[in-house]
Structure 1
Amino acid sequence: MRSDTAYRVPLRLERAGGHLFRFTNTSDETLRGVALTLHGSGVMGANAPARLQPGETLEVDIKGRSLARDAILVVRWFRPDGTEYLWRVSF
């Protein structure tokens, strides 16, 4: 069944000071397999795919000299029906 309504990214991104970034599930769905991949310059600790209940937050430490110029972050998750989504984040 096709819906004409766009699917809103269910995550809110906050820079929590320093190198800490917080991703909060703002939807009413449980997000499964939430994984982050950093491309370009910068360093991010390894993270196992997470499950985020509504309102839960995933924190990650990302360091880099010029993240805004030299890196992107890709966030991957699955909705309850198994549909995979990718969200490209620029710094």
Structure 2
Amino acid sequence: MRRGLGVIEIEHVGCDTAHSVRFALSGDGLLGLSLPRAVHPGERVRVAVRGAQAVGAATAHDAMLVLRWFQPDGTELLWPIPLE
């Protein structure tokens, strides 16, 4: 995972394709458009926190980015990513 100026980039290091991958934000700020998509092993996904409160969201103690995806068998997985 790499971070910089409201942008977070995550590399898929698993063995199987992740399906319906998308991000959600809890806290102030807005996300760049995060449509569900397939992410293949070795591929990277990038998301940007934007808006008038983006700087505050990136440093707020309660702000959380959530990465959501499905495994090939249909199991849903959620990965919480603190933004501070």
Which of 1 and 2 has higher RCO (CA within 8 Å, sep 6+)?
A: 2
How many aligned positions are there?
A: 78
RMSD: 1.3
| 1:19 Cα deviation from its structure 2 partner | 2.1
Tell me by how many angstroms 1:23 deviates.
Answer: 1.3
Kindly provide the amino acid, as one letter, of the partner of residue 69 in structure 2. Answer: W
2:75 maps to 83
* 2:59 corresponds to: 68
Gap regions ≥5 residues in structure 2:
none
Task: Summarize the alignment of residues 29-48 of structure 1 with structure 2, pairs less than 5 Å apart.
Answer: 29-48=16-35
Q: TM-score, normalised by structure 2?
A: 0.83
- Counterpart code for 2:66: V
Does the residue aligned with 1:89 lie in a helix, a strand or coil? strand
Which structure is larger by alpha-carbon Rg, 1 or 2?
A: 1
